[in-house]
Amino acid sequence: MDSSTPAQGSMGLIQIVQKGEKMNSINKTARMAGFWYLIFIAFSIFIAPIQSRLVTTDAASTAANILASEGLYRLGFVLDILSAVFFFLAAWSLFVLLKPVNKNLALLFMLLNLGGVAVQCLNDLFLFAPVLLLNGSGYLKAFQADQLQALVMFFLDMHKNGFMVAQIFYGAWLFPLGYLVYKSGFLPKFLGILVLADFVCWLAYFFQFFLFPTFTVITYLSFPVGFLAEFGLTLWLLIKGVKEPK
């Protein structure tokens, strides 16, 4: 004879419904994180050919390219700022997703990401400086054309170095992120291992750039590992979401 009461049955049904609603909420957060991360990756991929097309090793041709395609150059600047914003939104969504695993570590990776975003956005002022130098403002008539072109290259070099400064934050945030993905129980462990490998490679890239600038072989490893880890995590969050936590 069944000893359960209608009240107990109702409570069980309510718990099932609440559990389902909780999983739906977690999956929405996961897919939101994947969505922001995907936009960030797409913007980053789109920016690279703009800069490589306009910026060369020759000061005069670089200045001429920027003047001839100023609208495209400005677009690249705006996209770089927006990519930083989307990257932080991805970090915030991942914080919401992973804080039940360890709130302190989740807060740590979000703050490290924010540090990189702040450096990137401030550094983008160097990227915009060539537009100001080449727009012909009256006070710039004190400089000769070749001097302005040299200043353009100087600020572009400053932007390149400032971008690498941001990578110490973008590399460091991968360690707590990878650890929490590995320990979460609702994301595959292999993704956590890939993100941890990305952490090692990206920090090696940072130190290589400033300490061993001629030893560029490290970059050949950093970029494919980074793409596999971060794009893999992005696709998993978007397509698969998360499984029910144990």
Asked whether residue 57 is domain-assigned, the answer is yes
Q: What is the CA angle 76-82-85, rounded to 5?
A: 150
Top pLDDT among 80 and 139 is at: 80
246 lies in a domain? no
Please list, in sequence order, all residues whose beta carbon lies within 8 angstroms of the beta carbon of residue 191, skipping any fewer than 6 positions away. 181, 182, 229, 232, 233, 236
Between these two residues, 2 and 103, which has the higher pLDDT value? 103
Please report the pLDDT score of residue 13 as a whole number.
Answer: 45
Range of the domain at 24: 14-240
Examine residue 245 and state whether it is found in any structural domain, yes or no: no
**pLDDT value of position 218:** 78
Question: Is residue 67 one of the residues assigned to a domain?
Answer: yes
Q: CA-CA distances (angstroms) from residue 43 to 37, 112, 119, 150, 213?
A: 10, 21, 18, 29, 27
Decide: residue 139, CB within 10 A, 0-12 exposed, 13-18 middle, 19+ buried: exposed
Residue 151 inside a domain? The answer is: yes
**The total number of structural domains that make up the chain:** 1
Residue 18 confidence (pLDDT): 46
| CA geometry: angle 85, 183, 195, nearest 5 deg | 45
Q: Is residue 95 over pLDDT 50?
A: yes
In a domain, 167, yes or no: yes
- Predicted pLDDT of residue 20: 45
Residue 159 resides in a domain? yes
Question: How do residues 117-161 score in pLDDT, each as one tens digit?
Answer: 999 999 999 999 999 999 877 778 888 889 999 999 999 999 999
- Residue 8 covered by a domain: no
Q: Give the Cα separation of 195 and 185 in Å (integer).
A: 16
pLDDT at 217: 81
Q: Which residues contact 77 (CB under 8 A, 6 or more apart)?
A: 124, 127, 128, 131
